[in-house]
Amino acid sequence: MSFPLDRTDLAAIWLTLELATLTTLLLLVVGTPIAWWLARTRSRLKGLVAAVVALPLVLPPTVIGFYLLVSMGPHGFIGQFTQSLGLGTLPFTFAGLVVGSVIYSMPFVVQPLQNAFTAIGERPLEVAATLRASPWDTFFSVVLPLAKPGFVTASILGFAHTVGEFGVVLMIGGNIPEKTRVVSVQIFDHVEAMEYAQAHWLAGGMLLFSFLILLALNTSRRLKPGWT
């Protein structure tokens, strides 16, 4: 019996994992200060920033993909900026997929982190201040350990959401084998070609992956101290 997945399938799987890993790492770096600001600020801009972060939850992926495609194209403001840096344009490149994925998965990382930061409360921060800890010391020594469950949840959700993308990556990356073709697009191609056996293998793998992600989330929540 021959192996059910060919080279393009394996390349799509590897590209998807690479994209999800890099996107999750970038989201943790970018999303942590945004989440901290949203959890702590009393600014009138809080509602506006929170709404912008949450937009991918309500907008169709094709809408986000379309505007990203236009803005990163040769006549868009992002495209003109990248061209001025000698980087060319981002659409139909792996870098473009990363940018689109970071924006599309942003709320799945920022919101769990914001909830974790909010749940810490004021008391631990006040105690750290009385011990003359600097803001940086307080954040790394007090906030991060207490918010660890939130970081775990944010990482899992950000990674899983990126793996499952379709509309945004198709709009921005197109369908270039071994360069921008991820698993979700590969499944679509198999179905269009009526190659249902290969589609079943990839779709089944995605189904199992999604189940394991949900199982891991539920398990981590039950193991959290104080969880009932």
Summarize pLDDT for 149-203 with one digit per residue, the tens.
899 999 999 999 999 888 899 899 888 888 899 999 999 888 988 888 888 899 9
Write out the H or E segment, with its range, that includes residue 223. helix 196-223
Question: What are the tens digits of pLDDT across the range 107-131?
Answer: 999 999 999 999 988 888 888 888 8
DSSP letter for each residue of 131-151: TT--HHHHIIIIIHHHTHHHH
The dihedral built from the CA positions of residue 204, 189, 93 and 54, taken in this order, carries a sign that is: negative
Q: What b/e string do you get for 164-193 counting C-beta neighbours within 10 Å, with b at 16 or more?
A: bbbbbbbbbbbeeeeebbbbbbbbbbbeee
Query: Distance (Å, rounded) from C-alpha 194 to C-alpha 173?
Result: 23
Residue keyed to tokens 């919101």 = 111
Write out the H or E segment, with its range, that includes residue 196. helix 196-223
Residue 46 in this model has a pLDDT that exceeds 50: yes
Tokens of 209: 């992956």
Confidence of residue 228 (pLDDT cuts 50, 70, 90): very low
Confidence of residue 223 (pLDDT cuts 50, 70, 90): low
**pLDDT value at position 3?**
62
Q: What is the mean pLDDT of residues 98-109?
A: 95
The dihedral built from the CA positions of residue 210, 215, 216 and 220, taken in this order, carries a sign that is: positive
Are 100 and 172 within 8 A, CB to CB? yes
**pLDDT value at position 221?**
64
SS3 of 43, please?
A: coil
**pLDDT value at position 36?**
95
Q: What is the mean pLDDT of residues 73-87?
A: 90
Confidence of residue 227 (pLDDT cuts 50, 70, 90): very low
Q: What is the mean pLDDT of residues 223-228?
A: 44
Listed range (87-96, 134-143, 145-154) with the worst mean pLDDT? 134-143
Residue 141 in this model has a pLDDT that exceeds 50: yes
**pLDDT value at position 1?**
45
Query: Distance (Å, rounded) from C-alpha 226 to C-alpha 228?
Result: 6
Query: Distance (Å, rounded) from C-alpha 33 to C-alpha 139?
Result: 11
Q: Provide the whole-model pTM.
A: 0.87
